[in-house]
Amino acid sequence: METFTSASDGGAGRRGRWWTLGVLALSVLVVGLDGTVLNVALPTLTTALGAGTDDLQWIVDSYIVVFAVTLLPAGMLGDRHGRKRWLIAGLALFGLASAAAAYAGGVGPLVAARAVMGLGAALIMPLSMSVLPVVFDRAERPRAISIWTVAVALGLPLGPVLGGYLLDHYWWGSIFLINIPIVAIAIVAAAVLLPESRDPAARPVDLLGAVLSVLGLGGLVYGVILAPVDGWDSAWPWVAGGLLALAAFGVRQARAAYPMLDLALFRDRGFLWGAIATTVASFAMMGMLFVVPQYLSAAMGNDALGIGVRLLPLIGGMIVGARSGTRVAERLGARVVVPAGLAIGAIGLALGALTAPGDRYGWAALWFTVLGAGLGLAMPTAMDTVLAGLPEDRTGVGSGAVQSMRQVGGALGVAILGSLLSTVYADRLDTSALPPDVATPAEESVLVAVQIPGLGGPAGEAVGAFVAGMSRVLGVSAALVLAGAVLCGVFLPSARRDRVIPDNPGPVPAGSAAGAESDHAGLDPSPARPA
């Protein structure tokens, strides 16, 4: 007969659960890697594919935009039709698209492949998170979430490390082929080890809500991506249109009998403030990763691999912080650990804001480590507070909502902090003695300016102007993260309990599994059948 397992036995026993977590962590690590690994390959793609500036923007942004806008519908699909099924589908899609990207013969096919990779990533990220409460019980969940969260966070700084190494030794397509064996292992492990789980009520799909969420997030994310490149004059119609669509989405969700995203989730303080904490951290982290690689290249002369290696203290700090955070949270709770972690992260950013043009790498390594330790301390516990308030029938769409907020936060970090950097840098750089055809590129990129005699070098004017902009960016980020720490200290609940949010309102058909009491809420509701 067919059986369905709860978190208490995990489907494949205790050892199987942790093996499964390892595979899920590798899966989300790959998703994070592909968000940043391409940045170091852009010069190579310019030569190999003849890609111009606009082409490069689409190669990068097609992944980010599709990923962000499909997270909510992807979570809904898993809740309605099976999280294991759609997670495996996402992994397969991601692997096939990675192969297509590796062997793309031109810009168009590469952009299309990257977009499909974004769709696969949108299925992987929320559904891998949403199965954690199904596989792990409440006692084991914080440790599992800590490992999963660190894997998500590590993918971002590891991207330049891995990309730099592969580009130094192989052709550019290798940065995509590395995904395929990891995805293949994840598919097999998920098929064997993961229990199937879904919403037992089988509610109708909110198609209008899905369309409005895609339009809203698409307009908002594309607008904030466009802003640093073409300016806010070009970006604001997209941002305004996205916000209007999101407002319509909110109205729709409040009135629909079967909403795609139950707004009652945001009335739970643990879910709301845990999500806000992760969004603030994503804003600061993505802004920092936009600025710091340019600093390491222009001021210290590092190549792509050197930049990645010099980000390793950030990764080490994250690992140490996450390992400590799980144990501390068991004793002190989220209301202490999350604000403390954010405050430590703010200290790291503030130390970075004190950087001077002639500083050696040791200073950067110090504040990288402090920043990583703070975010590593805060993020796993923040994610745990999010999942602790989600009923098992809504872990998919709830996880999708949190990941959407993180993606929007990261895009806003790059757009707003990138614009601030450009403004300060251009104001501080004196190009009055240069001809216009030289001055304009120098004002747009410090990597160009350092090549100009009189502007470059470790103590040059260009580096000084850039460091002034970086200091402003890191100072603003520190203030924002510190504000997040204070607010989380006030509003995060001091204690959590599982599934505190009431069931989604709306009529439930007679005889539905939703009305039956079960210790396996959220697991596949199909009745057991004789073999």
Q: Are 449 and 429 contacting, i.e. CB atoms less than 8 angstroms apart? A: yes
| Alpha-carbon span 531 to 520, nearest angstrom | 22
Distance CA 125, CA 142 (A): 18
pLDDT digit string, tens, across residues 160-212: 778 888 888 888 999 999 889 889 988 988 888 887 877 666 677 778 888 99
What is the band of 9 on the pLDDT scale with cuts at 50, 70, 90?
very low
Distances (CA, A) of 38 to 33, 58, 334, 409: 9, 12, 35, 20
Average pLDDT of the chain, as a whole number: 80
How would you label 485-519 residue by residue, b for 16+ Cβ within 10 Å and e otherwise? bebbbeebbeebeebbbebbeeebeeeebbeeeee
Instruction: Return d(Cα 89, Cα 112) in angstroms, integer.
Output: 18
User: How many CA within 13 A on the CB side of residue 84?
Assistant: 19
Specify the higher pLDDT residue, 434 or 293. Answer: 293
Pairwise pLDDT comparison (523 vs 369), residue with the higher score: 369
Handedness of CA 70, 72, 75, 80 (dihedral sign): negative
Between the CA atoms of 269, 270, 272 and 274, what dihedral angle is there, to the nearest 10 degrees?
A: 140
pLDDT of residue 124: 92
- pLDDT score for 504: 47
Which region among 144-148, 238-242, 373-377 has the lowest average model confidence (pLDDT)? 144-148
At 169, which amino acid appears? Answer: H
Task: At 106, list the tokens.
Answer: 């031109």
Q: Which two tokens stand for residue 347?
A: 């200290």
- Per-residue pLDDT tens digits for 81-91: 788 899 999 99
Tokens in use for 505? 């309102």
CA distances from 183 to 90, 124, 136, 144, 151 (A): 10, 10, 22, 20, 15
3-class DSSP assignment, residue 274: helix
Q: Are 285 and 413 in contact (CB under 8 A)?
A: yes
Under the phi-then-psi rule, with left for phi > 0, alpha for psi from -120 to 50, and beta for the rest, what region is 516?
A: beta
Indicate if the pLDDT at residue 530 is higher than 70: no
**What is the pLDDT at residue 110?**
94
Alpha-carbon span 11 to 26, nearest angstrom: 20
How confident is the model at residue 44, as a pLDDT?
A: 78
Say which residue the tokens 């890191």 belong to: 474
> Which pair of tokens denotes residue 365?
């390594």
At 116-127, the pLDDT tens digits run 999 999 999 888
pLDDT of residue 478: 97
Output the pLDDT for position 1: 34
16-30, 204-218, 324-338, 440-454: least confident range: 440-454
pLDDT at 459: 52
- Other beta carbons less than 10 A from residue 52's beta carbon: 10
Between the ranges 27-31, 58-62, 303-307, 496-500, where is the mean pLDDT highest? 27-31
pLDDT in tens, 211-222: 998 899 888 888
Residue 507 — very low, low, confident or very high, per pLDDT cuts 50/70/90? very low
Give the chain's end-to-end CA distance (angstroms, integer).
Answer: 5
pLDDT digits (tens, 9 = 90+) for 238-282: 999 999 999 999 999 888 877 877 788 888 888 899 999 999 998
pLDDT digits (tens, 9 = 90+) for 472-491: 999 999 999 999 999 999 99
* 30-44, 61-75, 88-102, 388-402: least confident range: 388-402
Residue with tokens 């793609």: 45
Dihedral sign of CA atoms 129, 132, 138, 141 in order: negative
* Integer Cα distance of 126 and 130 in angstroms: 6
Q: Cα–Cα distance between 466 and 426 in angstroms, integer?
A: 9
